[in-house]
Structure 1
Amino acid sequence: MVHRTLVTQLEAGGTGRFPVLAHMTYDADDPFAVTVVFSHDGRVLARWRLDRQMLADGIRRPVGEGDVRMRPQSTGQWEELRLEFFGDSHVDGERHHAVVLAWAPAVVSFLDETYEVVRPGHEEVSVDGFLAEVIAGG
């Protein structure tokens, strides 16, 4: 298992950015996913399961069309990964929307550690284990 905590920046409307922690975890038992728990002042703000390959691709180019979108963003001195999360709809029909910016080299370093556990293209999922979970849950 690989775990890393990054200090990221939550973009808060017109008020600028404020720091939040992103606790990133990779487990070889779920080789395609990275779990990220965002927290601030000891409170969990959100928990997302992200596709590991999508996270890697988002460092280099825009990816995602649904609830999660990522793209590289440069501020001139910083190379960042921009993560956009879309949630449930408001009463007015607009969706909840959050933007988190992470320092791209830290994300790349985390991904490199995950590749030491399971190399890209070598991910495997136990079909028997998956079927047992489905049957037990049904």
Structure 2
Amino acid sequence: MNDRSTPTGHEALAGRCPPVLLTTVRRLFAPAGPGRLRCRLRYTVDDPYAVALDFVVDAGTGLCVTWVVARDLLDEGTRGPSGEGDFRVRPSPRRHDEAGRVRFSLRRPDGQVTFEAELAGVRRWLDATYALVPAGSEHRMLDWDALEADLLGRD
């Protein structure tokens, strides 16, 4: 039963902006291509289980390659190895003179690409997404009627 005195879903978030992180990532193990790219991490309450990583491959045109992954997979990957299949995340081995890093890898049959970002920035950004939509409450953000209509091909 929904208590109307306690706002849920989008009502509870009125006036709060979803967090965005703009950072620089380093491409690892790359024989050619740019060694560093801008990356925008986005979160939206319209897709509360997912996060988007936009890799800016051409700053002049704004061309991006976007990976959409589970928020909890990325969260777990900041603490230890996470993911199976195409997308994997893990903290990088730490050297004495550098800050903690996190690695994102996309594996496909035709190759693999791995990027490394500052762990603290990604962690702060993830914490902000969980402040906006706590773990376990994501289902409250979904419009189940609209999802059902979309799945069944109704208008």
Instruction: Give the shorter-chain TM-score range.
Output: 0.7 to 0.9
**Percent identity between the two aligned chains:** 26
Contact in 1 for aligned 2:57/2:65 (Cα 8 Å): no
Aligned counterparts of 1:113 and 1:54: Cα–Cα separation in 2: 16
- Using the alignment, how far apart are the partners of 1:74 and 1:17 within structure 2? 22
Match in the other structure for 1:96: 111
Equivalence map 1:49-60=2 (5 Å): 49-60=68-79
CA drift at 1:115:
1.2
User: What are the equivalent positions in structure 2 for 1:1-138 lying under 5 Å apart?
Assistant: 1-14=18-31, 18-42=35-59, 43-76=62-95, 77-87=98-108, 89=109, 95-124=110-139, 125-136=142-153
The answer for the alignment partner of 1:92 in structure 2 is none
Report the aligned-residue RMSD: 2.2
Task: Decide whether the 8 Å contact of 2:21 with 2:122 is kept in 1.
Answer: no
Match for 1:35: what amino acid?
A
CA distance in 1, matches of 2:102, 2:88: 10
Q: How big is the shift at 1:14?
A: 4.8
Structure 2 counterpart of 1:83, one-letter code: F
Q: Deviations over 1:20-44 (max 9, x none)?
A: 1111110011110001110133243
Deviation at 1:13, TM superposition (A): 2.8
Q: TM-score, normalised by structure 1?
A: 0.84
Q: Please list every run of 5 or more consecutive structure 1 residues that lacks an aligned counterpart in the other structure.
A: 90-94
Gaps of 5+ in 2: 1-17
| In 1: Cα distance, 2:118 partner to 2:74 partner | 13
Q: How many residue pairs get matched? A: 132
Give the C-alpha shift of residue 6 in structure 1: 1.0
Question: C-alpha displacement at 1:63, in angstroms?
Answer: 1.0
Distance 1:15 1:126 in 2: 44
Q: Tell me if structure 1 keeps the 8 A contact 2:27–2:113.
A: yes
Structure 1 residue matching 2:92: 3-state secondary structure: strand
Decide whether aligned partners of structure 1 residues 78 and 17 sit closer, same or farther in structure 2, where only a CA change above 3 A counts.
farther
TM-score, structure 2 normalization? 0.76
Residues 28 and 45 of structure 1: CA distance in aligned 2, closer, same or farther (over 3 Å): closer
Structure number with larger C-alpha Rg? 2
Q: Contact 2:58–2:64 (CA<8 Å) still a contact in 1?
A: no
Instruction: Write the distance in 2 (CA, Å) between the matches of 1:81 and 1:5.
Output: 15
